[in-house]
Structure 1
């Protein structure tokens, strides 16, 4: 994880410097905004990877002499069947269309999206003691 964290930190710094230089030398703000958002997204991923590295320690990909078999085994828990990703996507799409077509559709999108996200986040809270 450390290797990935260093890489994404470098990407974030690159985009931040590019945004600063572009913002200083250009007159149009769209490119500056796009580069700034790219820097923030890379910084978010870098932050997550640094936190994961601090919590989990070095992974097999950090060792110079590691082999593919060193990373074998279960990766994580993935829910086998759930409708929440579909409803989250539908709610997001309706919310986006509501921005274009009017507040009534936006509110419908919020009404679909909020319960979908809450369900998506909390769907496995009642299974804490169950090993799957």
Structure 2
């Protein structure tokens, strides 16, 4: 294989990997937007999360036992999570980390923003010393 052909093959694989990651991110965004719809019941949302986790596990070519072992949880917990029956936050976070989908959880966190008033307050000169308490003279001017 020539150097040029090898280079084109590597670039092609990198491009496919990039496109696949972008597609998965768009799927995560679509899931998040679906969850924001108030017409879904809690059970429907649990089932959707379970289906997405199962699909991610299968794409990663991992068995339920592999995920359970790496997350430090039982196989039953993974099965319950994938069925949408219920799980603890610890179980959900563990499975999401094993599947390399921490971005799903981070996408639920709103971005930190600084208000313009906070920026203005921070730009003012800071006090260098503490002042003495004022004595109350009792006279009204």
TM-score by length of 1: 0.28
- Using CA pairs under 8 Å that are at least 6 residues apart, name the structure with larger relative contact order, 1 or 2: 1
Q: Which has the higher helix share?
A: 1
> Higher Cα Rg: structure 1 or 2?
2
TM-score (norm 2): 0.27
